[in-house]
Structure 1
């Protein structure tokens, strides 16, 4: 089911990254004009293109479909099953990957191929990824512009919601949709960028346990938490065949939940909604407007 694959991959990446955080490779120390770059995750592909390095990218992975130019590039496999042969055949001078791909990094280093290992688990990590790639490739000016745009979005939303009571919210990131009832729902926990975006948007996560990195809850668990708003993230709109009306009906079976009674169930469908790259910050003003629709969201330029 295509609705679940990007978020299952996100969950897998997050768990691996957390476990291997202490083993992150230090950034390469010298700036070089790398001309043959391979990126091994959609978020890194997006970041590299956003920095103006698209012409230097010689390959990506299967689901790297943004920007559109990336779709025309050769694929070296999936995030969890990249082909060492395909990578080496393209003779890259730099392979950029996330720190859940440690085994592949070690294999490439043994072959003398330079690697850059990064972490995109949090907002700070995403910003640091932009800076690190830019410093390594001489794209500091582009990074400054990109990071300033991101900060402008954060500052704008923060200025709107700073003195307003936060809305108790549950953020769903994956669940089975071909059923009349909700079963297990993966949700944003306290350790990911969804939780940070939610707090910046004027919400507060109803899931407060800090021990579980990628929590899953039952319908009964959601009833107990009783959120006042529910944001259900449905990325890859063009791929999944799910009926959004059916998804709303699933949530409506939880009749005692405040969000259901108040008709505050929101579906977010964007191709970037599970990709922790520069575009993920576009979720911030959208989440803020959903949670606080009575505010004036017109920008005064």
Structure 2
């Protein structure tokens, strides 16, 4: 499995030992920014994390968490991020590693809150010994995980109302999108490409659950029925051609320069239904690899593609 594919897998399945990629434009532009909620009172406790006052120097080592923090209005409190956090555009330039976190480098930022997505290198224990509070925003496995993390980060950062509004808005937007999907007597099928070596996702992953929500059937599910690959199997071409998906969704556009044209040029691919019907959908790699507020953009891209096919 390539490093990039392993990184994508870890971000959505804590059982797979890797980390996540990067980001670009979308729904976050319209989110609130600035002042703490008037209902914010301290101390606050979320799980094992207790803060006596509003954190003013937050280190975010998860691209998804960075997006959430800015979307709920806590962006001015974020003073350092990991090297994969690059959205929204005004996010601080990050040099810290979320994939291989270093306690000394993090402590040098003098944070009063650190947000991470997994406990690599036992970083939680290391930072706790330094009396630095750590909130673990683990990779989401369901949309409910996304909504919970939005609200918990709102509580910790002093933006509970803005966070609740955002979580509610994301849930409502997704519900409206899904409601408009045409009803079909037979499900359309899809192949989701993480990289050109045919690593993909199953329906048991966060990403796969979004396609299920829209009513699509994943041709990769038989490749990892018991989850032995964490929901991220590598498909063989024979199995893929045999499944003959209605759609090909590309999440390797930025990383690997894949496109409808490159897919059509692959040996043997011209006979696939998705290729013959021009149903190859290029996604934004970054939006497709995070579980923050821009998940609405990903669901919208899926719905738009499906809605173009006559019911």
Per the TM alignment, residue 143 of structure 1 is displaced from its structure 2 partner at its CA by 1.1
1:203 counterpart residue number: 216
- Structure 1 residues 119, 255: closer, same or farther in 2, change over 3 A? same
Secondary structure (helix, strand or coil) at the match of 2:289 reads coil
Deviation at 1:202, TM superposition (A): 2.9
Q: Is the 2:85–2:94 contact (alpha carbons within 8 Å) kept by the matching residues of 1?
A: no
Partner Cα distance (2:281, 2:265) in 1: 13
In the alignment, the residues of structure 1 paired with residue 262 and residue 138 of structure 2 have an alpha-carbon distance, to the nearest angstrom, of: 32
> Is 1:152 the equivalent of 2:172?
yes
Summarize the alignment of residues 40-189 of structure 1 with structure 2, pairs less than 5 Å apart.
40-70=61-91, 72-76=92-96, 78-101=97-120, 103-122=122-141, 123-161=143-181, 163-165=183-185, 166-175=187-196, 184-189=197-202
Query: Could you tell me how far apart the structure 1 residues matched to 2:15 and 2:303 are?
Result: 28
TM-score by length of 1: 0.81
The number of residue pairs the alignment matches comes to 275
Deviations 1:35-62 (A, max 9, x none): 1110111111111111111111111111
For the structure 1 residues 275 and 185, does the alpha-carbon distance in structure 2 shift closer, same or farther, using more than 3 Å as the test? same
Change (3 A) 1:47 1:295: farther
Distance 1:73 1:45 in 2: 12
Q: Say which SS state the counterpart of residue 124 (structure 2) adopts.
A: helix
CA shift, 1:148, in A, is 2.0
- Cα offset for 1:251? 5.0
Given candidates 240, 262, 267, the residue that maps to 1:222 is 240
Structure 2 distance, partners of 1:245, 1:290, is 14
**CA shift digits 1:210-259 (9 cap, x unpaired):** 42321111211211222121111135x4xx47263552234562244322
**How far apart are 1:130 and its partner, in Å?**
0.6
TM-score by length of 2: 0.79
Judge conservation of contact 2:81–2:95 (CA < 8 Å) in 1: yes
* Post-superposition offset of 1:93: 0.9
Distance 1:277 1:252, change over 3 A: farther
SS of 1:86 mapped into structure 2: helix
**Separation in structure 2 between the aligned mates of residue 286 and residue 83 of structure 1, nearest angstrom:** 37
